Amino acid sequence: AQSDSSVKDMKGKRVLITAGKTVEPIDPVRYITNHSTGRMGYALAQAAAERGAKVTLISGPTTLACPAGVHVVSIKTTAEMAQEVDKYFAKMDIVIMAAAVSDYRIEKPAAQKIKKKSSTLELKLVKNIDILKRLGQKKKEQVLIGFAAETQNLLENATRKMQEKRVDLLVANDVSRADIGFGSKQNEVTFLRPGHEPLLVKKSDKRQIAEKIFDCIMSF
Ligand code: CTP
Ligand code: CA
């Protein structure tokens, strides 16, 4: 009965999940971001809550409804997400970075709306902190799960991320496929675990993928 939500096999577990996109302001009316809708992270939050876990969901802007029984913390920028993750991390049993985090921010967002003047406009971006990598460095008992979004060399890139970020499970996504991933209700992923062969999880609803992720973690 592994994917049966009536089984409260995560009762008492404290789970932190990040979901959706982060957005980085350019000026008061513009920003840079990515295509993430938050569906994968919200499916994880709902699955964990139904399996009895105490779930905190740190979410970027999304149109999705707040899952029942889940504590949602809304953020916009990567810096805000990092700050909220830091607040909760120490008390958690399981931490899943499902968010599509903006790797860069605008160095100096304009205080006023930028007016169109010259024919070109340069924006200087600076790197954001890697939230997951920092968690990997400071984790104690927590089980840490990361995602990888790749458009090429999936296994090679994702294996490197698993090692560099010191995660217990890395969920690798091929984001070049239109039928799965960003914006889709379905996904097909590969689970990578230190010391294990890659495991393909065939195309299925994000909720089913979420259940398989928790089945995997709960078998550790
Ligand atoms: N991540 C993070 N902080 C960042 C960037 C990414 O915590 N500043 C997390 C994501 O939430 C995901 C994992 O790191 O769980 C991998 O994200 P991904 O964008 O695939 O990899 P990056 O390490 O950012 O490398 P790149 O984008 O260059 O492929
Ligand atoms: Ca990235």
pLDDT in tens, 153-163: 999 999 999 99
Parts of the chain with a pLDDT under 50:
1
Q: What's the confidence (pLDDT) of residue 86?
A: 98
Q: What's the confidence (pLDDT) of residue 44?
A: 98
Three-class SS of residue 57? strand
How many structural domains is the chain composed of?
Answer: 1
Q: Residue type at 37?
A: T
Give me ligand 1 centre to Cα 4, in Å: 31
Is residue 140 a contact partner of residue 108, using CB atoms and an 8 Å limit?
no
- C-beta neighbour count of 102 within 10 angstroms: 23
| Catalytic annotation present for 34 | yes
Nearest in space to 205 (alpha carbons), one of 4, 44, 8: 44
Give me ligand 1 centre to Cα 43, in Å: 19
Q: Is residue 4 in a domain?
A: no
* CATH classification at residue 26: 3.40.50.10300
Q: Please determine, for the modelled complex, whether the ipTM score is greater than 0.90.
A: yes
Owner of token pair 């304009």: 110
**Which residues are near ligand 1 (CB < 6 Å)?**
78, 97, 99, 101, 103, 128, 130-132, 146-149, 161
Q: What's the confidence (pLDDT) of residue 1?
A: 43
Q: Is residue 49 in a domain?
A: yes
Q: Is residue 193 in a domain?
A: yes
What is the pTM for the complete model shown? 0.96
- Neighbouring C-alpha atoms within 13 Å toward the C-beta of 175: 15
Q: Is residue 113 in a domain?
A: no
Give me ligand 2 centre to Cα 24, in Å: 14
Active-site residue (options: 34, 128, 157, 187): 34
Alpha helix positions (H), 33-187: 39-50, 78-89, 131-138, 154-164
| Residue length of the chain | 220
Q: Is residue 6 in a domain?
A: no
Tokens of 139: 């984790």
Owner of token pair 């078998």: 219
Q: What's the confidence (pLDDT) of residue 4?
A: 55
Termini Cα distance of the chain:
17
Q: Is residue 63 in a domain?
A: yes
